Amino acid sequence: MSIYLPSSLTDTYTLQNGVRIPAIGYGTWQTPNDVTAAHVKTAIDLGYRHVDTAWGYDNEIGVGEGVRASGVKREDLFITTKHWVTFRGYQNTIDAVEDSLKRLGMDYIDLYLVHWPCVAASRPDWQEINADTWRGFEKMYKDGKLRAIGVSNYEQKHIEALAKTAEVMPMVNQLEFHPGYMQLDNIRYNQSQGILVEAWSPLGSGAVLKDETLAAIAAKYNKSVAQLCIRLSLDYGILPLPKSTNAERIAQNADVFDFEISPEDRAAIESMPTLGYSGYTPEEAPADKLAGLC
Ligand code: A2P
């Protein structure tokens, strides 16, 4: 499979329905709402055109304010938000989209994702619940409120189950991806289906940044470990969503288009032991982490 390699922040991947999505998204997980607007504006000032949020991050209001404060036209920006686990089902999903639109202060969302699948370990009727939720996604997509729809944290079995009833297949799957947790089988499955993979926690939420193997590899390219991690996503055809609340680091995280990681260094990174893994795998997480997912 040939990998598309973007060469600037405004280069785009093209989704299955033709919608174009800018190459690096500005992540907002764990950013408190009261400071989100300022950081989103900074990221947009620095050239980012894609912002990733979620109802569950509790900062959609701040994202909307930051977008308006930036002065950049809405149609020149790409905004993703996600459906939370408490909104499963057809009508709840429709209401959830309306609620996110209100919080964002927008009349459409560029990409809307199912945040977590409902899984067999939580409910025997997980397939029906996921299918019903997805019908709500399809309705809002067909109504033009959502320009593209997708999922997050879905494993192959969850996508295959959805495919039994879906009229529109997910265009994106947002997964945890960073050195020390690359889940390449899942990535390759998605890519073989034409589903664009996005990386959440591309820096392992900061946990991989002090690793010596990564530091040695990054030094060869005169780059920081953070830049190496972001480039790693791009080199695997994965759209990274780095999060930073520091202007210098927000800029640094976009300065990744002038190098490519060699096959030898990629192999060394692939063979690293598990590092920085969040513990959030829907099927395997301990019961306390699954609580509330379905
Ligand atoms: P900060 O917001 O202070 O920059 P992830 O995107 O994997 O969730 O990682 C986010 C974490 O990594 C945050 O703690 C963020 O801290 C930190 N971070 C983001 N960019 C960089 C960078 N270029 N160098 C060092 N740390 C970074």
d(CA 174, CA 196): 8
pLDDT higher than 90, residue 275: yes
Give 3-51 pLDDT, tens digit per residue: 999 999 999 999 999 999 999 999 999 999 999 999 999 999 999 999 9
Domain 12-290 has CATH 3.40.50.300: no
Assess whether 57 carries a catalytic annotation.
yes
Atom 25 (ligand 1) nearest CA: 226
The residue annotated as part of the active site, out of 48, 57, 154, 181, is: 57
Closest CA to 41 of 7, 14, 77: 77
Q: Among all chains, which residue has been given the structure tokens 């973007």? A: 6
Nearest-atom number in ligand 1 for the CA of 203 is 7
Q: What is the mean pLDDT of residues 146-150?
A: 98
Q: Residue 287: which pLDDT band, with cuts at 50, 70 and 90?
A: low
The contacts of residue 19 (CB under 8 Å, 6+ apart) are 110, 111, 147, 148, 171
Cβ(62) to ligand 1 under 6 A? no
Here the tokens at position 163 are 């495919």
For residue 276, CA distances in Å to 31, 172, 178, 181 come to 19, 23, 8, 7
Q: Residue 1: which pLDDT band, with cuts at 50, 70 and 90?
A: low
Q: Among all chains, which residue has been given the structure tokens 């020390």? A: 180
Q: Residue 291: which pLDDT band, with cuts at 50, 70 and 90?
A: low
Nearest-atom number in ligand 1 for the CA of 29 is 8
How far is C-alpha 284 from the chain's CA centre? 20
β pairing state of 26-27 and 20-22 = unpaired
Cβ(31) to ligand 1 under 6 A? no
CA of 54 to the centre of ligand 1 (A): 18
Q: Look at residue 289 in the predicted model and tell me its pLDDT.
A: 62
Closest CA to 152 of 40, 275, 56, 244: 56
The mean pLDDT value of the chain amounts to: 95
Cβ(32) to ligand 1 under 6 A? no
CB 239 within 8 A of CB 167: no
Here the tokens at position 165 are 């009833």
For residue 263, CA distances in Å to 32, 143, 236, 270 come to 39, 44, 11, 10
Share of residues in the chain with pLDDT > 90 (%): 91
Pocket test for ligand 1, best of 243, 255, 275 (most atoms within 8 A of CB): 243
Cβ(243) to ligand 1 under 6 A? yes
The contacts of residue 248 (CB under 8 Å, 6+ apart) are none
3-state SS, residue 30: coil
Give 111-134 pLDDT, tens digit per residue: 999 999 999 888 899 999 999 999
CB 178 within 8 A of CB 211: no
CB 137 within 8 A of CB 160: no
Name the residue with higher pLDDT: 285 or 5: 5
3-state SS, residue 175: strand
Domain boundaries, the chain: 12-290
Position 19, amino acid: V
Cβ(246) to ligand 1 under 6 A? yes
Closest CA to 206 of 182, 225, 181, 183: 225
Sign of dihedral through CA atoms 122, 123, 124, 128?
negative
Q: Look at residue 126 in the predicted model and tell me its pLDDT.
A: 94
Closest CA to 242 of 269, 280, 206, 191: 206
Nearest-atom number in ligand 1 for the CA of 243 is 6
Cβ(252) to ligand 1 under 6 A? yes
Q: Look at residue 167 in the predicted model and tell me its pLDDT.
A: 98
Cβ(242) to ligand 1 under 6 A? yes
Pocket test for ligand 1, best of 174, 246, 255, 256 (most atoms within 8 A of CB): 246
Pocket test for ligand 1, best of 50, 203, 211, 230 (most atoms within 8 A of CB): 203
